[in-house]
Amino acid sequence: MRYVSTRGTAPELGFSDVLLSGLASDGGLYVPTEWPTLPAAGDDYSSTATSIMATYIGDDISAEVLEAIVRDAYATFRHPEVAPLVQIEDDLWIQELFHGPTLAFKDLALQVVGRLFDHVLAERSDRVTIIGATSGDTGSAAIDAVKSCDNVDIVILYPRGRTSDVQRRQMTTVDSPNVHAVAVDGTFDDCQDLVKAMFADEQLRRDCNLSAVNSINWARVMAQIVYYVTASQAFAEPARFCVPTGNFGNVLAGWIAKSTGASIDHLLIASNANDILARFVNDRDMSATEVVPTLSPSMDIQVSSNFERLLFEMNNRNGARTAEQLQHFRSSGALEVEEANFRTWISPTFSAERLDDEETLAEISRVYRDSGMLIDPHTATGTAAARRSRSNGATVCLSTAHPAKFPDAVEKATGIRPELPPELGDLMERSERMTDLPADLGAVSDFVRGVSRVSR
Ligand SMILES: *Cc1c(COP(=O)(O)O)cnc(C)c1O
């Protein structure tokens, strides 16, 4: 299995190199040279996951090693089915993707990706230093995924005082020598700028072998294909999937599942007030505006970077054309997609709905009243979108976070404060460990050098 860049000029790579590099050297994202067909389902989630991922990994990792990695990753989940379906209305199911260690769907991919990193690095006798910025969910999921990895050090920058208590504690209470949570005196944008500046520093990048596990990493998309497949197999007729999405990562995995043979009828995108994807799907308008904070912060995104992978397909895999369109997007703030292309690729497959905070709270309250279930604000954008745009058959709404991860919004809507699962019950009592740093590139780079165990 080989991979090409969506911008057409980076070298073709195998899976392991794609895993470690994240971004292609021409700034593009890696995709397989051809899409493999879906293998037959396995007996349980891990065996289905192993066979699907094996088609994308090829000879780079043996079947036995891959199976062990996948089983070990999903053994950290609190539910034996890993991603169970729960019916909440006649034609509406939610797929609970929050039974992993950090209570959000990112665990489904990152628990595998961390172990894949460690395996490939051990084989190469190499180490990396993963750096990242987070406003909450990504940082905790990444830290948990690599906390036992011998060959990875991780430094996560978060804006001091601006994450929720649960999110911060999920990063600061992990007691592993390779984990470093840094409270930056600044905003999330400051944290992100610091990470970008560190990647741009060639010397630092080489000395510490810097790496990233953000949502454009191909291996994350690959691992997300699996739950669409297992859910679709529960229905006799093709099901519609509703996906609360920000970066287009989750829904892209759904598109790949559908394109490679999963029984999926349609993909419904749920957006919050940051509605660039909804405007695109409904009106062919992909123009970026200011990010506004909402009750579903993990979807507060204006540039959906994983869309580039679909754009490449829409362009008949023409990397030069894709690079040109994205260049224009960066300079003008608007992505131009030809109408004919839009009618072929977007309208038949995708639709979208946008929910504001008030509608999100009303939906959390309604679902609680009607079904007795507490759902988180991200999931609520999805269930509300599904009801607003009815379809004839079953809809599966992806539930991307546990309600206890966003307790304030849930309590505001229902009067009930959702409880953390028992395994995390003492999170608020565990002792915290973090380093306070100013939003200063010199200070943060020195810190990364100090903790990195890469010796170059
Ligand atoms: C990250 C996240 C999302 C958005 O996922 P994308 O890959 O950006 O579509 C939605 N909900 C929750 C809870 C998340 O953590």
Query: Position of tokens 């021409």?
Result: 26
Mean pLDDT, the chain, integer: 95
CA 317, CA 232: separation in Å to the nearest integer? 28
**pLDDT of amino acid 23:** 87
What does DSSP say about strands 128-133 and 210-211: parallel, antiparallel, or unpaired? parallel
274: left (phi over 0), alpha (psi -120 to 50) or beta: beta
pTM: 0.95
Q: Which residue has the higher pLDDT, 174 or 135?
A: 174
Nearest CA to ligand 1 atom 11: 400
- pLDDT bracket for residue 189 (50, 70, 90): confident
Out of 400, 405, 406, 410, mutate this one to test ligand 1's pocket (max ligand atoms within 8 Å of CB): namely: 400
**Residue 215 confidence (pLDDT) above 90:** no
Please provide the DSSP assignment of 334-362 as one string: EE---HHHHHHHTTTTEEEEE--HHHHHH
21 pLDDT more than 90: no
pLDDT above 90 for 201: yes
Closest Cα to residue 138, out of 114, 102, 175? 102
**pLDDT on residue 187:** 85
For residues 320-329, average pLDDT:
95
Are the CB atoms for 366 and 377 separated by under 8 Å?
no
Average of per-residue pLDDT across 188-210:
91
The dihedral formed by the CA atoms of 87, 77, 214 and 204, expressed in degrees to the nearest 10:
170
pLDDT in tens, 252-263: 999 999 999 999
**Atom from ligand 1 closest to the CA of residue 301:** 8
What's 80's DSSP letter? T
Q: Quick one: tokens of 106?
A: 């990112």
Query: Packing angle between helix 45-57 and helix 218-232, nearest 10 degrees?
Result: 140
Chain position carrying tokens 């199976």: 67
Strands 2-5 and 13-14: antiparallel
Residue 106 is a catalytic residue: yes
Q: CB under 6 Å to ligand 1: residues? A: 104, 106, 137, 215, 244-250, 298-299, 378, 400-401
The CATH number of 85-101+219-414 is: 3.40.50.1100
Taking residues 313-321, report their average pLDDT.
97
Q: Which of 378, 383, 397 to mutate to test the pocket of ligand 1 (most atoms within 8 A of CB)?
A: 378
- Ligand 1 centroid to 160 CA: how many Å? 22
Residue 455 clears pLDDT 90, i.e. is over it: no
Burial of 421 (0-12, 13-18, 19+ CB in 10 A): middle
Long-range contacts of the stretch 451-454 (C-beta < 8 A, 24+): 451/129, 451/153, 451/155, 451/180, 452/129, 452/153, 452/207, 452/208, 452/209, 453/127, 453/129, 453/153, 453/178, 454/127, 454/128, 454/129, 454/153, 454/207, 454/208, 454/209
Distance 137 CA to ligand 1 centre (A): 8
pLDDT at 17: 96
Structure tokens at 339: 């109408």
Contact 28, 8 (CB under 8 A): yes
Identify whether the C-beta of residue 228 lies closer than 8 Å to the C-beta of residue 97: no
Residue 250 predicted with pLDDT over 80: yes
115-171 pLDDT per residue, tens: 999 999 999 999 999 999 988 788 999 999 999 999 999 999 999 988 888 889 999
- The string of pLDDT tens digits covering residues 175-185 is 999 999 999 99
The DSSP line for 14-72 is EHHHHHHH-B-TTS-BEEESSPPPPPPP-SSHHHHHHHHHHHHHGGGS-HHHHHHHHHH
Contacts of 163 (CB under 8 A, 6+ apart): 134, 135, 136
What pLDDT is attached to residue 137?
Answer: 81
Pocket test for ligand 1, best of 267, 299, 379 (most atoms within 8 A of CB): 299
Compare 17 and 165 and report the one with higher pLDDT. Answer: 17
pLDDT at 304: 85
Q: Which long-range contacts (CB under 8 A, 24 or more apart) does 339-344 make?
A: 339/284, 341/314, 341/315, 342/284, 344/314
The confidence score (pLDDT) of residue 146 equals 97
For residues 300-325, give the mean pLDDT.
Answer: 93
Question: For the chain, what is the radius of gyration of the CA atoms?
Answer: 21
Beta strands, E only, 318-434: 334-335, 350-354, 395-399
pLDDT tens by residue, 220-239: 999 999 999 999 999 999 99
Instruction: Report the side by side order of strands in the sheet with 239-244.
Output: 85-89, 92-96, 395-399, 239-244, 264-271, 350-354
Question: pLDDT tens across 49-88, in order?
Answer: 999 999 999 999 999 999 999 999 999 999 999 999 999 9
Extents of the domains making up the chain:
85-101+219-414
Give whole-number Cα distances, 190 to 292, 439, 444, in Å.
16, 7, 12
Whole-number Å distance, alpha carbon 6 to ligand 1 midpoint, is 23
β-pair type (210-211, 239-244): unpaired
At residue 169, the 3 state secondary structure works out as: helix
Please report, rounded to a whole number, the percentage of residues in the chain having pLDDT higher than 70.
100
Residue 9: pLDDT over 90? yes
Q: What is the pLDDT of residue 291?
A: 85
Q: How far apart are CA 230 and CA 249, in angstroms?
A: 18
| The predicted structure's pLDDT at residue 22 | 83
Whether residue 290 is predicted with pLDDT greater than 90 in this model: the reply is no
Sign of CA pseudo-dihedral 196, 198, 202, 206:
negative
